[in-house]
């Protein structure tokens, strides 16, 4: 082996001198330095020398085995492809129910609910801050009644449902559970995910309600409830997606997400939960951006880092506790308003990187999302993009097809190292929550975002249609509009509900919730009771606002 | 010697997408302007109040949630009812072209949709703030 490597090193040196350096004067390379998005240098050529120190079984192993670098399942997509799951929701529950059925009829495998901002921040549609926002970025849900409409005719034992909901995640999960009950589907049969990841809301996404401490309590309450009652439910989706959208690099995205994951595990352990009870239901959510190979390296490195942290630091024994399972969405921030059809190609490349990185489920963005919510036609192309990758290209026929690539393995190692450096810095500050309070992650992301923008403006970074290959365009047609009448309708339905429900059941359940919130017991059973009584989301969240207070963000830039 | 332009970068409504707002805030600051950033979740009332308090010449509104059709004209309405007519209001975000005419009619001076370089905004501000213009 060593003899072989010496020969190889000599051959590479010869190549460098006799071939590469000779042609460089005539054919100079396009740039002085080639860097990934995270500024990891990329060399002209990679050979076995770049991976000679890799201990295969230690670093890579078999798929389905520790440290899961090559994938979490032994056969990956040879058995079943990833779940094609398009994030959807707008207007009222009726409208979104129709879009769900449209997608399921066309081969989508799982649902992913987009809620409007008032729902995400725990305001009813008639709250003054909700005006103008109802049904805009997602569906408006004020109470169990809307949730019943949202899933009408969709059997909850047949689909899995992911819900992008964070601060009020426990309330929306409770509504889903009760809709299941009414359909005759038990909690054990429900499968799905709540995002439930508050820390990245403080860092990047902005739909926080309560301060960190009570927010972490709500999260550990859901962990505990899920491990006792919902064996097929992912109690959290620890998300790097929005961190990346806010402008981070790939390394920052992954590192900050893992650091948040560590904080959740620590909070749950502190609350007295057993790691192997809740850890198997932790899931992750990453962004698939444009720097193709770095994205693949990021997914592979993330699996390895998480497995090691769970095993070495937290002493998890259950193999399922060690597996980093993740959903991926293509990068919304890379979509351009200019020449929007070109976005189809960007999305296809990003989706392919997620698949080559071993994702468990995938959302592909629609071409028109830099302009508006996606139209039906655009959503169909996005779904078809996944289907082409899954059923036509053959990339699904073997596990981790890029494993062993000198470049990809070297890059995986470098991404891992750079991410661990960040994770250790956050540890040194005192953990993710403390670092957020100091604004560490926020500042790092902001610097990266600004740099990225300057690179586009200086044309160092090419964006087709924006700073290169521009054309005169007609303004795009057929954009989806959310009819402003829907907002009025939603408020009317809400006031009707308030007249029809039993006011004593509502106020009684809210009083009991408030009392429990001042104590330390698990709040899930009380939230379920309030939901069943048709207390509104805003009423439930207000009770908790009274007890927990509200988070105030520092406006730093 | 001209005084630097004072500008309020504001996030009306519940939208949490602040990447664009923070990037332009940094760009304006690096161009020598005095920048005040409101942070998230500002009501139109709060924005108008801050703008008057801080005596700004320009307000840059950013919204990516689709609520601009309600929130931006509301800011203009409140400015008018406060008797303010000398603040230049600019807008950015995910704003379909068909909305731009309405926003301008409501008094928004210019709408910069995604992909607009910072320097284009700086030029616009400098051309429209007269003798107190910032430094490019």
User: In this structure, are strands A160-163 and A111-113 parallel, antiparallel, or unpaired?
Assistant: parallel
Residue with the bigger pLDDT between A46 and A478: it is A46
- What domain count does chain A have? 2
- Return the number of CB contacts < 8 Å for A and B: 108
B66:A373 CB<8 A: yes
**Residue A84: is its pLDDT beyond 50?**
yes
- Note whether A386 and A326 are same-domain residues: yes
Residues of chain B neighbouring A131 (CB-CB closer than 8 A): 70
What is the DSSP secondary-structure string of A198-266? -HHIIIII----S-HHHHHHHHHHHHHHHHHH-TTEE-EEEE-HHHHHTT--HHHHHHHHHHHHHHHHH
The alpha-helical segments, DSSP class H, found in A241-330 are: 241-245, 250-270, 275-278, 292-308, 319-322
Domain end (from A428, A457, A486): A457
The number of helix segments (H) and strand segments (E) in chain B equals 5, 5
User: In this structure, are strands A326-330 and A361-363 parallel, antiparallel, or unpaired?
Assistant: parallel
Lookup: tokens for A521: 């017991």
What is the DSSP secondary-structure string of A70-104? T-SSSSGGGT-PPEE--EE--BSHHHHHHHHHHHH
A557:B65 CB<8 A: no
Residues of chain B neighbouring A446 (CB-CB closer than 8 A): 22, 26
pLDDT score of B133: 44
Site of tokens 């097809």: A401
CATH code at position A389: 3.20.20.240
CA-closest candidate to residue B10, choices B83, B72, B94 = B72
Band of residue A540 on the pLDDT scale cut at 50, 70, 90: very high
**Residue A476: is its pLDDT beyond 80?**
no
Q: Which residues contact A462 (CB under 8 A, 6 or more apart)?
A: A468
pLDDT score of B81: 97
* CB proximity B38 to A under 8 Å: yes
ipTM for the complex shown: 0.92
* CB proximity A276 to B under 8 Å: no
Omega before residue A295 within 30° of 0, cis: no
Band of residue A234 on the pLDDT scale cut at 50, 70, 90: very high
Let me know if residue A555 belongs to a domain.
Answer: no
Domain end (from A422, A457, A492): A457
Instruction: Kindly list the structural domains of chain B, giving each domain's residue range(s) and its CATH number in brackets, ordered by start.
Output: 6-131 (3.40.50.280)
Mean pLDDT of A86-91: 91
Residues of chain B neighbouring A450 (CB-CB closer than 8 A): 22-23, 26-27
- Comparing alpha-carbon positions, the chain B residue that sits nearest to A475 is B97
Mean pLDDT of chain A: 96
Segments forming the whole domain that contains residue A41:
2-49
- Note whether A228 and A373 are same-domain residues: yes
- Note whether A207 and A299 are same-domain residues: yes
- Note whether A110 and A32 are same-domain residues: no
**Residue A539: is its pLDDT beyond 90?**
yes
- Comparing alpha-carbon positions, the chain A residue that sits nearest to B42 is A129
Distance separating alpha carbons of residues A409 and A415, to the nearest angstrom: 10
Distance separating alpha carbons of residues A70 and A60, to the nearest angstrom: 6
Let me know if residue A545 belongs to a domain.
Answer: no
pLDDT score of A533: 98
Mean pLDDT of A145-154: 98
- Note whether A105 and A6 are same-domain residues: no
Mean pLDDT of A430-439: 97
User: In this structure, are strands B6-10 and A361-363 parallel, antiparallel, or unpaired?
Assistant: unpaired
The pLDDT tens digits for A244-268 are 999 999 999 999 999 999 999 999 9
**Residue A481: is its pLDDT beyond 90?**
no
Band of residue A480 on the pLDDT scale cut at 50, 70, 90: confident
* CB proximity A370 to B under 8 Å: yes
- Note whether A11 and A125 are same-domain residues: no
**Residue A342: is its pLDDT beyond 50?**
yes
**What is the share, in percent, of chain B residues with pLDDT greater than 70?**
93
Mean pLDDT of A159-179: 97
Lookup: tokens for A410: 């070297």
Residues of chain B neighbouring A337 (CB-CB closer than 8 A): 113-115
Mean pLDDT of A467-482: 85
- Note whether A426 and A441 are same-domain residues: yes
A446:B22 CB<8 A: yes
Domain end (from A457, A482, A517): A457
pLDDT score of A226: 96
Band of residue B134 on the pLDDT scale cut at 50, 70, 90: very low
The pLDDT tens digits for A312-327 are 999 999 999 999 999 9
Mean pLDDT of A222-236: 96
pLDDT score of A42: 98
- Note whether A78 and A18 are same-domain residues: no
Let me know if residue A244 belongs to a domain.
Answer: yes
């Amino acid at each position: 082996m060593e003899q072989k490597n010496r020969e190889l090193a000599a051959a590479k040196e010869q190549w460098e001198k006799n071939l590469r350096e000779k042609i460089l004067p005539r054919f100079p390379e396009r740039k002085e330095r080639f860097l990934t998005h995270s500024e990891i240098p990329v060399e002209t050529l990679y050979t076995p020398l770049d991976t000679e120190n890799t201990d295969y079984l230690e670093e890579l192993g078999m798929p389905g085995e520790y440290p899961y670098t090559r994938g979490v399942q032994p056969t990956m997509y040879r058995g079943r492809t990833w779940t094609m799951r398009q994030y959807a929701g707008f207007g009222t529950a009726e409208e979104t129910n129709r879009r769900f059925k449209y997608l399921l009829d066309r081969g989508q495998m799982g649902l992913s609910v987009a809620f409007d901002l008032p729902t995400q921040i725990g305001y009813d549609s008639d709250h003054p801050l909700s005006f103008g926002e109802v049904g805009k970025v997602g569906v408006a849900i004020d109470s169990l009644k809307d949730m019943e409409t949202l899933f009408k005719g969709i059997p909850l034992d047949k689909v899995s449902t992911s819900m992008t909901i964070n601060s009020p995640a426990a309330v929306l999960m409770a509504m889903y559970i009760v809709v299941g009950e009414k359909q005759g589907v038990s909690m054990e049969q429900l499968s799905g995910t709540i995002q439930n990841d508050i820390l990245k809301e403080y860092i990047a996404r902005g739909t926080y309600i309560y301060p960190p401490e009570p927010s972490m309590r709500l999260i550990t309450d859901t962990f505990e409830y899920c491990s006792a009652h919902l064996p097929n439910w992912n109690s959290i989706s620890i998300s790097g997606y929005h961190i990346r959208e806010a402008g981070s690099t790939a390394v920052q995205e992954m590192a900050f997400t893992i650091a948040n994951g560590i904080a959740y595990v620590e909070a749950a352990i502190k609350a007295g939960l057993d790691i192997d009870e809740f850890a198997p239901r932790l899931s992750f959510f990453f962004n698939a951006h444009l720097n193709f190979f770095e994205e693949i390296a990021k997914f592979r490195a993330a699996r390895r880092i998480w497995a090691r942290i769970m095993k070495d630091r937290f002493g998890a024994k259950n193999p399922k506790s060690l597996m980093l399972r993740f959903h991926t969405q293509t990068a919304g921030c890379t979509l351009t308003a200019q020449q929007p059809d070109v976005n189809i190609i960007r999305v296809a490349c990003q989706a392919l990187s997620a698949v080559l990185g071993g994702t468990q489920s995938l959302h592909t963005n629609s071409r028109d999302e830099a302009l508006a919510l996606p139209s039906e036609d655009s959503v169909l192309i996005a779904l078809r993009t996944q289907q082409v990758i899954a059923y036509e290209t053959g990339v699904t026929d073997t596990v981790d097809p890029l494993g062993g690539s000198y470049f990809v393995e070297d890059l995986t190692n470098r991404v891992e190292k750079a991410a661990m450096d960040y994770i250790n810095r956050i540890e040194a500050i005192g953990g993710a929550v403390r670092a957020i309070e100091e604004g560490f992650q926020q500042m790092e992301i902001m610097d990266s975002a600004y740099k990225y923008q300057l690179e586009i403006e200086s044309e160092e970074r090419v964006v087709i249609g924006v700073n290169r290959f521009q054309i005169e365009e007609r303004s795009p047609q057929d954009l989806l509009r959310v009819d402003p009448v829907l907002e009025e309708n939603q408020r009317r339905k809400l006031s009707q509900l308030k007249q029809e429900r039993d006011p004593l059941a509502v106020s009684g359940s809210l009083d009991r919730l408030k009392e429990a919130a001042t104590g330390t017991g698990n709040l899930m059973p009380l939230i379920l009771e309030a939901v069943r009584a048709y207390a509104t989301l805003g009423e439930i969240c207000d009770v908790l606002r009274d007890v927990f207070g509200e988070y105030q963000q520092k406006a730093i830039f | 010697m001209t005084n630097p332009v004072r500008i309020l970068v504001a996030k009306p409504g519940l939208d949490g997408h602040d990447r664009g707002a923070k990037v332009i805030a940094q760009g304006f600051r690096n161009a020598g302007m005095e920048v005040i950033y409101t942070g998230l979740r500002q009501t139109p009332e709060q924005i108008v109040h801050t703008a008057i308090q801080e005596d700004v010449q320009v307000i840059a509104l950013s919204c990516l949630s689709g609520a601009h059709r309600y929130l931006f004209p509301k800011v203009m309405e409140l400015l008018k009812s406060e008797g303010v007519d000398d603040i230049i209001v600019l807008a950015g975000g995910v704003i379909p072209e068909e909305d731009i005419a309405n926003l301008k009619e409501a008094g928004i001076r210019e709408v910069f949709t995604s992909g607009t370089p910072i320097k284009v905004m700086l030029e616009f501000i400098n051309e429209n703030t007269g003798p107190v213009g910032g430094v490019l």
